[in-house]
Copies of this chain bind each other. A is one copy, B any other.
């Protein structure tokens, strides 16, 4: 099976496609201003863009792991998630609290999708 990498830097790739499976790097907001709802919406837009470039889409997400810097923002994150997720095509999901690479980041989402 082929391996195809996207946005490959010296440290990581933003997406890696193996056969029909797409692995995205954990996405944090490129511009981490605003609250959790806003950052989640920004992250989900980045995921849309990356999946599109890989030949996938949000309708084909298999699994999502959501890391929140503060679990008390669970409802605020879901406000953006619920407005975005593809009805009838929701992925398996796990959401936990974890400090992220910088204090400006309030949410990080890692996704596995089908091509």
CA distance A18 to B3 in the complex (A): 16
Closest to A10 in B: B82
- How many residues in A have their beta carbons less than 8 Å from beta carbons of B? 51
When distances are taken between beta carbons in the complex, the residues of chain B under 8 Å from A26 are 65, 92-96
Interface assignment of A110: CB less than 8 Å from any CB of chain B:
yes
When distances are taken between beta carbons in the complex, the residues of chain B under 8 Å from A108 are 94, 96
Nearest-Cβ distance from residue A11 to partner chain B, whole angstroms: 6
Nearest-Cβ distance from residue A27 to partner chain B, whole angstroms: 9
* 0/1 string, A6-29, CB within 8 A of B gives 1: 001111111110111101111000
User: A71-B99, A96-B99, A96-B100 are known contacts. Are A112 and B23 too (CB-CB below 8 A)?
Assistant: yes
Chain A residues proximal to chain B, CB less than 8 Å? 1, 3, 5, 8-16, 18-21, 23-26, 60, 62-65, 67, 71, 74, 78, 81-82, 85, 87-101, 108, 110, 112, 114
Closest 4 CB pairs of A and B: A26-B94, A96-B98, A97-B99, A12-B93
